[in-house]
Amino acid sequence: MAVTATTNGNTIRLKVSGRFDFSSHQEFRQIYEAVSAEVTNYTVDMSEATYLDSSALGMLLLMRDHAGGDDAKIEIVSCNEDVKKILTISNFGQLFKIS
Amino acid sequence: MKVQRFDPLVLAELKELLEEEFPELITTFIWDSQQRLALLALAIEAADAGSTRMSAHSLKGSSINIGFAQFAQLCDEIEQTAKIGKLDNCRALLSALLLEAEWVFDHLEILIKEL
Amino acid sequence: MAPALRILIADDNESDRMILRSIVRKEGHEVILAANGEEAIRLFWEHQPDLILLDVIMPVLDGLSVAKELRSKLAEDYVPIIFLTSLQDPESLAKCLDSGGDDFLSKPYNRVILKAKIKAFGRMRSMHEKLQVHNRQMLIEQQVAKTIFDNVAHSGCLDLANITHSLSPLSVFNGDTVLAERKPDGGMHLFLGDFTGHGLPAAIGAMPLAEIFYGMTAKGFAMEEVLREINSKLRDILPVGVFCCGCFVELDFYEKRAKIWLGGLPDIVCFRAESQSIETFRSTDLPLGVLEANKFQPTLLDVFMADGDELFIWSDGIIESRNEDGELFGEDRLLAIFQPASVNTLFDSILSAVDRFVGEAGADDDLTLLSVKMASMDVLGLPDLDNRRGSLVGPQDWEFSYTLGALTLRGFNPLPIVLNIITEVEGLRGLSGQLYTLLSELYSNALEHGVLSLPSSLKFSHDGFSAYYTEREKRLAALIDGEVEIRVKHRPEADGGVLEVTIIDSGQGFDHQQFLARDFPEDGYSGRGLPLINAICEDFYYNPTGNAVTALLRWPLAP
């Protein structure tokens, strides 16, 4: 899986391509941990993500914790059917804004 | 392609490596090679491409290890010729090889006597 | 200095053998010689060398065949194979690698190069061996961990006739857990959990979860209370990002109800025996261990189940099983299995369908499946709760009074604590189940009919009970004034004792005459209500108003 990130003012957009699973852990984490203090909003772009497993869900939780927990502003966008289904079953819509 | 007929360094290294066993190596090589040459001749006579290739290949390998590059090259020629099926040509190549073999064996026998 | 290796040299040419033998011996290694492929294989098994130098072209059996044969028989062990060849062309060299060779050595044999290759592959082999030792060690540790887990988790009541489950032996290391236990009032709690991750981290979370589940269920705590406790515990101990997807079911065999909580697991299915059709239930909550205690508000689904109706719960392992083509089994295929009963049970049909689908792709151990049928209490009987306690005899002469005000009545269940105190008396422990049911009956009458003024007539139809409980929740939430007092007294007597329980509520009074005169369908110990009370209590009466009830129990019970 590849993770690319672009920052625009106070928002960082992380794009995930391919399988979002345990092997992506390091990469994903390094990116969100390195954000500058200006960044307050996070967008996770799933347009090219093919698959999401429970460790990916864990990573999203870790990122949310890093971004301020309940105060974090995180949007997960462009989910395909499969990704959306996984997020729905785990009811992550209660923690993240999902589209 | 012209190759070195014989590389004395190879023999020297082998001598250093095998020590007292060196003469045995040489006599083994001579004996072995003579057997294989005989088999090679028979194979070519019988127009058996497979056996020709195997014997030639084997001779090529062992002679290269002893440092006789020209001998090895002649074996290779026979191997490649048999591979493409031109067994008639092998006869002529065999004659050349046998001549070269004489030279190699004589050289080696002199070498052993000198030890 | 590199350790001495045992090296097998297979070459059909005697002078070549001699040269190689010298080189290898001079490097300090032990040599085994073979003159053809067949001899090479025989000597390999006889001497177990650490490395093989293999000529490609040999009579009887050639080098490539030797390599293929050895690789197929070696399984987990690794022995490096270096081909000896004067072949130069890439196809031949590729063929060598394909048959299992690791490298080549070309003629003329160069001592320096051979030495380097032996050293390099010797290192690889020793790394491989270390890895194997390590793996074996880990397997042993896992077995130990599993034993500890089994002692904590025990199988509860998973062996009851109305429950079927499938769990691989080391499933705990896949993060999967299945738990089931009877409640003291005869009901049942079931739980299927799927922790994120694998191996020990996944297994460790399962232990406190099982401890809480079994401990609290046996004491009579309600489902929501157990869920809260589990969620808080997991939230405390698990790192962020690790959580437990799960399904919790509470079954009431008297009232034919199932209460279901579903967080993060795939949809569960209820197969209706009469209509032979299915109903699915969807997850509405986040998994356990994610939300803080004050944010955790479990949504409980209330479902009526007739005897014979069966609930099916699974982790995503079944849905994500793959066949040789990499295709997923998928939820649609799974739901399609729920056809009217065939020769096999539905449970077996599911397992064999997945088995057939996966086929040669391998036994996927992740098939965690749980099913439970609604059954009659007469068939199940009351649970045999083994209340192990420290004290031998316990307190003998005591009394206490516990008064609960409106705020408390809204959300707190006092029965587990009260039962706990009562069963400190050793002689009463064997009656836990009946005592709990007795307390439960009297307390709910006091709360619902007394304080909340709910008419009991509303309860007696299974459509009605849904409406009853909705109304109950409504009135409880709105409660401002009201009180229930629980008074318990115990005195020793001869070889036993006397227990007196009085419950007083602040309501207008309960129509106890009607209650006492009612005709109960069940009988015997497994019955509830009056038959049970009459069976174990020596005396039982209401005050004239009907807002205070007293039950007197003498133990040991008269035969």
Task: Decide if C283 and A55 are in contact by the 8 Å CB cutoff.
Answer: no
Q: How many other CB atoms are there within 10 angstroms of residue C234's CB atom? A: 24
Structure confidence by residue, pLDDT tens digits, C520-554: 554 433 346 677 788 888 898 888 888 999 999 99
CA distance A37 to A21: 27
| C242 close to A22: Cβ distance less than 8 angstroms | no
Which amino acid would we find at residue A70?
D
Set of chain C residues whose Cβ sits within 8 Å of the Cβ of B24: 18
Confidence (pLDDT) at C390: 52
**Band of residue C170 on the pLDDT scale cut at 50, 70, 90:** low
Confidence (pLDDT) at C408: 93
Confidence (pLDDT) at C209: 93
Q: Can you tell me whether residue C559 is helix, strand or coil?
A: coil
Residue C1 predicted with pLDDT over 60: no
- Domain-located, residue C452: yes
Confidence (pLDDT) at B2: 67
CA distance A1 to A46: 12
DSSP E strands in C483-545: the ranges are 483-493, 496-505, 539-542
Residue C490 predicted with pLDDT over 90: yes
Q: In this structure, are C207 and C348 located in the same domain?
A: yes
Q: CA of B68 to nearest chain C CA: how many angstroms apart?
A: 10
Q: Do A and B share at least 3 CB pairs under 8 Å?
A: no
Return the CATH number at C533: 3.30.565.10
- Domain-located, residue C339: yes
* Alpha-carbon distances, residue C180 vs C153, C159, C310, C455, C545 (angstroms): 10, 9, 15, 34, 42
Q: Six-digit token pair at C167?
A: 């769990």
* Alpha-carbon distances, residue C155 vs A35, C310, C313 (angstroms): 48, 20, 17
Q: CA of A27 to nearest chain C CA: how many angstroms apart?
A: 16
What is the average pLDDT score of chain C?
86
**Band of residue C103 on the pLDDT scale cut at 50, 70, 90:** very high
H and E: helices and strands count for chain A: 3, 6
Residue C372 predicted with pLDDT over 90: yes
C57 vs B: CB within 8 A: yes
| Closest residue to C266, CB basis, from A89, A94, A95 | A89
Residue A72 predicted with pLDDT over 80: yes
Confidence (pLDDT) at C526: 39
| Closest residue to B61, CB basis, from C26, C86, C111 | C86
CA distance A99 to B8: 79
Structure confidence by residue, pLDDT tens digits, C228-263: 999 999 999 998 889 999 999 999 998 889 999 999
| B23 close to B73: Cβ distance less than 8 angstroms | no
Confidence (pLDDT) at C297: 92
Specify the range with the lowest mean pLDDT, choosing from C66-80, C93-107, C308-322, C446-460. C446-460
Nearest-Å Rg of the Cα atoms of chain A is 12
CA distance C37 to C60: 6
CB under 8 Å to C294, separation ≥6 — which residues?
A: none
The string of DSSP codes covering C31-93 is EEEESSHHHHHHHHHHH--SEEEEESS-SSS-HHHHHHHHHHHHTT----EEEEE---SHHHH
Confidence (pLDDT) at C83: 93
Name the percent of chain C lying above pLDDT 70: 91
Residue extents of the structural domains in chain B: 24-114
Q: Which residue has the higher pLDDT, C67 or C385?
A: C67
Set of chain C residues whose Cβ sits within 8 Å of the Cβ of B32: 13-15
C310 vs A: CB within 8 A: no
- 3-state DSSP helix/strand/coil % of chain B, to nearest 5: 85, 0, 15
Number of domain units in chain C: 3
| C188 close to C156: Cβ distance less than 8 angstroms | no
Set of chain A residues whose Cβ sits within 8 Å of the Cβ of C245: 54, 90
Size of interface A-C (CB pairs under 8 A): 45
Query: Which domains does chain A show, CATH number per domain?
Result: 2-98 (3.30.750.24)
Which of B22, B62, B66, B75 to mutate: most C Cβ within 10 Å? B62
Exposure string of C158-183, with b = 16+ CB inside 10 Å and e = fewer, is bebebbbbbbbebbbbbbbbbbbbbb
Specify the range with the lowest mean pLDDT, choosing from B49-63, C131-145, C212-226, C374-388. C374-388
Name the percent of chain C lying above pLDDT 90: 43
- Domain-located, residue C10: yes
| Closest residue to C290, CB basis, from A55, A61, A89 | A61
Q: In this structure, are C372 and C407 located in the same domain?
A: no
Q: Six-digit token pair at C20?
A: 């190689």
Q: Six-digit token pair at C149?
A: 């887990």
Residue C338 predicted with pLDDT over 50: yes
DSSP E strands in C226-274: the ranges are 244-252, 257-263, 268-272
Q: In this structure, are C441 and C508 located in the same domain?
A: yes
Q: Write down the residue that tokens 């690789």 correspond to.
A: C71
Average pLDDT (C285-311) is 93
| C163 close to C180: Cβ distance less than 8 angstroms | yes
Cα of C290 vs its chain's centroid, Å: 19
Q: What is the ipTM of this complex?
A: 0.91
Strand C301-304 vs strand C277-281: parallel, antiparallel, or unpaired? unpaired
Which amino acid would we find at residue C523?
D
Task: Decide if C241 and A95 are in contact by the 8 Å CB cutoff.
Answer: no
The secondary structure of residue C528, as a DSSP letter, is -
Structure confidence by residue, pLDDT tens digits, C340-349: 666 668 888 8
Structure confidence by residue, pLDDT tens digits, C4-31: 899 999 998 999 999 999 999 988 999 9
B27 vs C: CB within 8 A: no
What residue in C sits closest to A58 (Cα-Cα)? C241
Q: Write down the residue that tokens 């080696």 correspond to.
A: B108
CA distance A63 to C391: 50
**Band of residue C353 on the pLDDT scale cut at 50, 70, 90:** confident
Return the CATH number at C321: 3.60.40.10
Residue C173 predicted with pLDDT over 90: no
Residue C389 predicted with pLDDT over 60: no
Q: Can you tell me whether residue C188 is helix, strand or coil?
A: strand
| C310 close to C273: Cβ distance less than 8 angstroms | yes
Average pLDDT (C191-197) is 89
Set of chain C residues whose Cβ sits within 8 Å of the Cβ of B29: 15
In the beta sheet, which residues pair with residue B110?
none
Task: Give the CATH number of domain B24-114.
Answer: 1.20.120.160
Q: In this structure, are C100 and C164 located in the same domain?
A: no
Give the domain extent around C16.
6-131
Q: How many other CB atoms are there within 10 angstroms of residue C131's CB atom? A: 12
- Domain-located, residue C92: yes
**Band of residue C186 on the pLDDT scale cut at 50, 70, 90:** confident
* Alpha-carbon distances, residue A39 vs A46, C261, C351 (angstroms): 20, 38, 50
The string of DSSP codes covering A16-41 is EEEEESGGGHHHHHHHHHT--TT--E
Set of chain A residues whose Cβ sits within 8 Å of the Cβ of C174: none
C515 vs B: CB within 8 A: no
Residue A21 predicted with pLDDT over 90: no
Q: Which residue has the higher pLDDT, C526 or B84?
A: B84
Q: Give the dihedral sign, CA C405/C411/C413/C417.
A: negative
Specify the range with the lowest mean pLDDT, choosing from B15-29, C127-141, C507-521. C507-521
Q: In this structure, are C76 and C212 located in the same domain?
A: no
Average pLDDT (C388-393) is 58
Confidence (pLDDT) at C138: 86
Q: Can you tell me whether residue C508 is helix, strand or coil?
A: coil
Closest CA to B14 of B2, B4, B24, B3: B24
